[in-house]
Amino acid sequence: MSNLYNQIVIFGDSLTQFSHNAFEKGWGAALQYSYIRKLDVLNRGFSGYNTELAKHLLPQLLPKKNNPTKNPKVFLLIIFFGANDAAIQPSVQHVSLEKYKENLKQMINIIKDPDSPYHSPETRILLVTPPPLNEEARVKHKGLKDRKSDVTAKYAQACVDLANELNVPVLNLWKLMTDKVTLTNVTLNDLLSDGIHFSSLGNETLFHELLDTIRKNWPELDPDNLKPLTHLWTELNYEINLEQQVNSLEFNIINQLGDSL
Amino acid sequence: MSNLYNQIVIFGDSLTQFSHNAFEKGWGAALQYSYIRKLDVLNRGFSGYNTELAKHLLPQLLPKKNNPTKNPKVFLLIIFFGANDAAIQPSVQHVSLEKYKENLKQMINIIKDPDSPYHSPETRILLVTPPPLNEEARVKHKGLKDRKSDVTAKYAQACVDLANELNVPVLNLWKLMTDKVTLTNVTLNDLLSDGIHFSSLGNETLFHELLDTIRKNWPELDPDNLKPLTHLWTELNYEINLEQQVNSLEFNIINQLGDSL
């Protein structure tokens, strides 16, 4: 019997790694809570990593196709890099704009290319752009200028451009947060705790947009449209065999999304 | 290649299901964050469930022994039931005190009995008792008296007794919270939002005690003693082959705890 729920994999740098911080309303934990009893949200965040490292790591995080074993399905892969690629030289984190786009493309192809050992038609992909940088706060926190606001903006745009080229959904976090600062009373300091990482408000902002983006692009993955894998306790008939009633977990995992793709 | 980190499985009722609520500092999310890049914390919480249901569900959540496929290892299973078993008749959730103990014992044996198809020497087990009940708040919230404070206390004690009989570590949450109310200025209303479920402070209280209990019983599972499965970005040499350096995930997962058992 299988013990593993199907998955949403969130793959990124510290903006993902830190997203399970329950004391800052982490967006990853909030996403996991939205899918409780339905899907596991696996945090595959790697602080400091750029796409140059990520492209080598990704295949190790994915099930191989044609694997005879019953792997859980990855229904959604969120790829969320760029904040470190945008570091300026001589930072070792720096990756050129062109290379950043190329690396993102390679990661997408690991899933989409029918010849890839990790080809998976059931895996939806969502790109997330880096958020805007609060240069002043970053310098204050880090003690040096290793990133520039207008450079990060270019990486965000490159991510959007690539998504459009490849027809992959994208959450433009740079625009979302920049608009919020321009159009409301919220400041970048309210959204980012140290110029680059999310505050509670930043986490909440991303989380809500993420759910909206999922709902819009893949209504079948809307948590409200997914049934829990096990009966609610109020649905059970306590007068008859309980074991039979709770014994359908494996079946439900295997058939969770039916033929929605 | 394996894509799956080894696991901590948290198995319980709504007190576990709700534990990934990032907006209330959920103890499950906080635990996940403590183990980030080291172990996955899988939420297997089932609101309303009692041990009578749980004992049928548990085998479906675990890998079978002698399974030729590379399942992730469950290094720690937290069993956290009793709040619903303690419901008073005629509630369908009610399970007698004796049956509650017997069901917990059966669940433990699913792991510990060498003849069980789910026998797993590497799986440490931690029992958690139900928290104290705030009768007044529960009645106010629910509109009827379906649980009694002194009855829940007996289930907590039964859980401790069984743990001692079977030499299984136990976190006495009932005592922890009762002591906190007796010895400090904190009230049950501060710890439980509706008489039974945790507030932010309740979540934080359980989370810290949980980490302490893990550290005390299994120092090898102390998150501070576990290495991240992948190199920190600052450990990498950017002058030489990066792919090789990030290519050890599977090896690290397989050898994560060495021969610590």
Residue contact B23–A30, C-beta within 8 A: yes
pLDDT tens digit sequence for B164-196: 999 999 999 999 999 999 999 999 999 999 999
Q: Is residue B246 assigned to a domain?
A: no
- ipTM for the complex? 0.96
B8 interaction partners in chain A (CB closer than 8 Å): none
pLDDT of res. B261: 65
The reply to whether A47 belongs to the active site is no
pLDDT confidence of residue A69: 64
Structural domain span for residue A37: 7-254
Decide if B34 is inside a domain.
yes
Give kind and range of the element (H or E) at residue A10: strand A7-12
Place of tokens 């005879």: A68
Write the residue in A26, A45, A70 that is nearest to B22 by C-beta: A26
**B209-230, pLDDT tens digit by residue?**
999 999 999 999 999 999 999 9
Active-site option among A194, A199, A200, A222 = A194
Catalytic residue check, B14: yes
> Residue A200: its chain B contacts at CB < 8 A?
none
In a domain, residue A52? The reply is yes
The answer to whether residue A17 is domain-embedded is yes
CB pairs under 8 A between A and B: 140
Q: Is residue A29 part of a domain?
A: yes
Contact B17 A40 (CB under 8 A): no
CA–CA–CA angle B244, B250, B254 (5° rounding):
135
CA–CA gap between residue B254 and residue B72 (Å, rounded): 8
Question: For residue B182, what is the domain's CATH number?
Answer: 3.40.50.1110
Output the pLDDT for position A2.
61
**pLDDT value, residue B65:** 87
Q: What's the confidence (pLDDT) of residue B178?
A: 98
Q: Which residue of A has its CA nearest to B248?
A: A60
Nearest to A1 among B29, B64, B243 (CB): B64
pLDDT at B2: 61
Examine residue A246 and state whether it is found in any structural domain, yes or no: yes
What is the predicted pLDDT for the residue at A22?
94
Sheet holding A7-12, edge to edge: A40-45, A7-12, A74-80, A124-128, A170-171
Query: Which pLDDT value is given to residue B213?
Result: 98
Q: Cβ contact (<8 Å) for B36 and A59?
A: no
Domain count across chain A: 1
Q: Is B13 a catalytic residue?
A: no
Closest chain A residue by Cα to residue B70: A69
Q: What is the pLDDT of residue B211?
A: 98
Q: Which of B2, B14, B149, B200 is catalytic?
A: B14
Query: Which residues from B are below 8 Å from A92, CB to CB?
Result: 236, 238
Would the CB atoms of A4 and B1 count as touching at under 8 Å?
Answer: no
pLDDT at B1 over 70: no
Please report the pLDDT score of residue A68 as a whole number.
62
Contacting residues of A for B11, CB less than 8 Å apart: none
Min Cα–Cα distance to chain A from B237, Å:
9
Of all helices (H) and strands (E), which one includes residue A162?
helix A149-166
What pLDDT is stored for residue A71 in this prediction?
Answer: 79
The answer to whether residue B254 sits within a structural domain is no
Contacts of A42 in chain B (CB under 8 A): 5, 40
Q: What is the pLDDT of residues B124-147, one digit of tens each?
A: 999 999 999 999 989 898 888 899
CB pair distance less than 8 Å for B26 and A33: yes
**Chain B residues with CB inside 8 Å of A120's CB?**
none
Per-residue pLDDT of chain A (261 residues; tens, 9 = 90+): 468 999 999 999 999 999 999 999 999 999 999 999 999 999 999 999 999 999 999 999 999 887 766 778 999 999 999 999 999 999 999 999 999 999 999 999 999 999 999 999 999 999 999 999 999 989 898 888 899 999 999 999 999 999 999 999 999 999 999 999 999 999 999 999 999 999 999 999 999 999 999 999 999 999 999 999 999 999 999 889 999 999 999 999 999 998 766
**Could you tell me which residues come within 8 angstroms of residue A236 by beta carbon, excluding any fewer than 6 positions away?**
A242, A245, A246, B53
- Domain for residue A1, yes or no? no
Going from the C-alpha of B64 to that of each of B36, B60, B74, B151, the distances in angstroms are 26, 9, 11, 36
Residue B60: pLDDT band (50, 70, 90) is very high
Of these residues, A34, A85, A193, A197, which one is catalytic? A197
**From B40, B190, B194, B222, the catalytic residue:** B194
CB atoms near residue B224 (< 10 Å)? 8
